[in-house]
Amino acid sequence: MTRITQRKLPEGMDLWRTEELHAAGFNDRKIAALVRSGVLVRLRRGCYIRGSTWEAQKPWIRSRQLIAAHAHGTLTTAAGGFVYSHTSAARLHGLFLWDVDDRVHINTVTTPSRTSHGVDVIPHTGALSPLEVETVQGMPCTSLERTVVDCCLMLNFKQCLIVVDHALRMGANALVLQDMCHSLGGRNGVINLRRALENADQKSESPGETLTRELILRLGIAMPELQVEVTTKKGKHRLDFAWRAKRLALEFDGKVKYFDYAPTDEVIYRERQREKALMELGWRFIRITWQDLFREHEFKVRLLRALRE
């Protein structure tokens, strides 16, 4: 039954509203059966995705898919009147987010009722200038700078720093961000925004590197340089963090979570050769993972011991 039903699902598309499935010959009972069997996955009320497509997607792709499901169920059937904002806009822009839920955030001109959008949608009100709205992945959302500011007004400092680091790396205008911050005096969350702008570094290449830098700062340890290039007999090599005078490097080995990267045997071999060439020049290494970032005392003891050597 499942195989026959799968073949009958409309080809060339993976996302459907209920009425589209009705038009394709599936009544409510059949739709419910498809959901139970896993052929369809219900993303939100009135919107479904092909099960095989959903299962193949990475977590960060699924987060964006939920926004697409909202758009498919609303923007394609109505005039719209809203813009994706906050963490939803961040996902559309491709900004790194850490420990953030998948609720859909929209900016509307008028105050909506609590029940008009569904429990998975958070509406915000506020006037947006034409420069603060753009189309990303076919959907209207706030500009990169406005998105950063909106996110920082609702997130904690660590989350803010990750967003600001990555936005600057993507080309966000730091002066525009500063001006927007200055205009928000007294607003809830503006302190985290200000701190994030003061401590941001576009050289951070992942959320893990940002959180590593934040931890070093909070522990009061001398801040290393980021993305340091060192020339060896094997060529030029780049270090995540380095204390040049101590010839001490700190490498974050948690990129797989955000870059879908799994080292092959060849990559591991080249990495060992690179490290060997650096060690011949007197460099020492500390390697950390995500778990180390939440064992702060152990991290501090380990790092201070290496810096004293």
Per mean pLDDT, which of 13-27, 110-124, 213-227, 246-260 is the most reliable? 213-227
Express each pLDDT in 11-33 by its tens digit: 777 899 999 999 888 999 999 99
Counting other chains too, the contacts that 279-285 makes at CB distance below 8 Å and 24 or more residues apart are 280/232, 280/233, 281/230, 281/232, 281/247, 282/247, 283/230, 283/247, 283/248, 283/249, 284/246, 284/247, 284/248, 284/249, 284/309, 285/248, 285/249, 285/250, 285/251
Q: Which of 118-127, 135-144, 169-178 has the lowest mean pLDDT?
A: 118-127
pLDDT band of residue 77 (cuts 50, 70, 90) is very low
Tokens read off for 101: 């839920």
Is 5's pLDDT higher than 70? no
Report the pLDDT averaged over residues 130-148: 95
**Among 48-57, 109-118, 246-255, the range of highest mean pLDDT:** 48-57
State whether the Cα torsion 127-131-136-142 is positive or negative: negative
Task: Report the C-alpha gap between 203 and 169 in whole angstroms.
Answer: 7
Domains with residue ranges and CATH for the chain: 2-56 (no CATH), 61-199 (no CATH), 207-308 (3.40.960.10)
Claim: this prediction has a pTM higher than 0.75? yes
pLDDT value at 196 more than 80: yes
In this predicted structure, the answer to whether residue 184 has a pLDDT above a threshold of 70 is yes
**pLDDT higher than 50, residue 165:** yes
Q: What is the rounded average pLDDT of the residues 193-206?
A: 96
Task: Decide if pLDDT at 76 tops 60.
Answer: no
- Give per-residue pLDDT as tens, 112-135: 555 556 788 999 988 899 999 999
Burial class (CB within 10 angstroms; exposed 0-12, middle 13-18, buried 19+) of 72 = buried
